[in-house]
Amino acid sequence: MQTVGIYAKINHPDAPTLVRNICTRLQKNDINFLLEPWLGKALNSESVAAKDVIPRRSDLIIVLGGDGTLISVARQVTPLQIPILGVNLGSLGFLTEITQHELPAMLEMVLTGQYEITDRMMLDVEILRQGKVVEALTLLNDAVINKGTLARIIDMQTRVDGNYLTTFKADGLIVSTPTGSTGYNLAAGGPIIYPGINSLVITPICPHMLTNRPLIVSSDSVVAIDVSFTDDVVYFTGDGQIGASLEPGDRVQVRQSTARTYLIKSPNRNYFEILRAKLSWGER
């Protein structure tokens, strides 16, 4: 390991101190580091690079923040198959499993190669307009079609592998990975999918028909959604962070990506412990 790239939730008060400690530990092991510009400024360090450049020059990525911070970094890191160590600066996260207290010991384990990696499936999403791709994205969590505040119900004609499924009449539609199943999908009434089970979850948002229910399909499936609406306030959102306006007749096409996100696992807890902690299972 020659270089470690470090990202942090911008302007988080704990981040500079934690990053300084990480950098000191790396320097003792003759390992270089690269920081986001705002971190470099906070630490008065010249070892900085642009957010999209850091992964190309790193062998390991450390992310300090919450799940949202890690997801945004994952889209930069994924094409290079670099492992990510997620450190949570708030409450325990689904993806940022390591606590601040655990960080020193975990960093030592990582630097000596004593760690396990789990890989997460991702989505390739295309927005087609009159048959031409106008937007192409790779996402970790979910692809969402959602109406604006004053828009009417959207008609979303949905096909799986070319086979007509149904036309959802709803406020929107979510196509989620197992990783994203604990996000917007869960809030919309969708199921929790264990990350090791590669699949796609199709979940309508506030469907007009009460008989519409979430559907789990194979990760090898291609989900195509043709949108029809009379208002001009319907949006596509990826991972809850990036998006685009849709036009009537647009098609949103979702499939499993060949890219994967590689996360360093916590040795102190498993996925089910995280579920219990985050969702308060077992509490009265």
Helix (H/G/I), strand (E/B), else coil: 1: coil
- Residue tagged active-site, from 14, 30, 67, 220: 67
Q: Which two tokens stand for residue 218?
A: 């194979």
Q: Which two tokens stand for residue 253?
A: 């096409």
CA distance linking residue 231 with residue 242, whole number of Å: 21
CA distance linking residue 115 with residue 102, whole number of Å: 14
Q: Are 84 and 27 in contact (CB under 8 A)?
A: no
Cβ neighbors of 217 (< 8 A, separation 6 or more) are 160, 199, 200, 202, 223
**What is the Cα 30 distance to its own chain's centre?**
32
220 is catalytic: no
- Name which of 204, 205, 202, 206 is nearest 216 in CA terms: 202
Catalytic residues: 67
